[in-house]
Amino acid sequence: MEFDHNFFVGFAKSYGLFYMMAFFFGAVIYAYWPSNQEKFDHAAKSILEEDKVVQK
């Protein structure tokens, strides 16, 4: 198999759609996976918990 211009254009025009959609669904599934919810909530709130002030 030759890795020339035609090969890459052919790949992009055939499998391109599928690997891109797979990537997109992968990201969406990760973001909406129910057990990840807790981790994300914790992360979103964690940056605000630093506000408490202590006396030295």
Partner 1 sequence: MISQLTRDERSSAMYLSGLLVLFGGFLAIAGRNDVLGWHGAMLVFSGAILLFALISRFYDDEPARESRHEYYDDPTKFGVVVAMIWLVFATFVGDWVAWLLVFPEATFDAGWSSFGRLRPVHTTGVIFGFGGNALIATSFHVLQRTSRARLAGSVSPWVVLIGFNLFCIMAVTGYMFGITASKEYAEPEWYADLFLVVIWVVYFVLYVRTLARRQEPHIYVANWYFMAFILVVAILHIINNLAVPVSLGHAKSYSLFSGVQDAMTQWWYGHNAVAFFLTSGFLGMLYYYLPRRAGRPIYSYRMSIISFWGITFLYMWAGSHHLHYTALPHWVQNLGMTFSIILVVPSWASAGNALLTLNGAWEKVRDDATLRFMFVAAVFYGLSTFEGSFMAIRPVNSLSHYTDWTVGHVHAGALGWVAMITFGAFYTLVPMLWNRERMYSSRLIEAHFWLALSGTVIYVFSMWNSGIIQGLMWRAYAENGTLAYSFMDSVDAMAPYYVARAVGGFLFFLGGVIGLYNIWKTIKMPAQAHTPIYDLPPVVDVEPAE
Nearest distance, CB of residue 14 and partner 1, angstroms: 14
Site for partner 1 in 22-51 (CB under 8 A): 23-24, 27-28, 30-32, 39-48, 50-51
Could you tell me the sign of the dihedral formed by the alpha carbons of 38, 42, 44, 31, in that order?
Answer: negative
Nearest distance, CB of residue 56 and partner 1, angstroms: 5
Apex CA 26: angle with CA 33 and CA 22, to 5°? 150
In three-state secondary structure terms, 47 is coil
Positions in the binding site for partner 1 (CB under 8 A):
20, 23-24, 27-28, 30-32, 39-48, 50-56
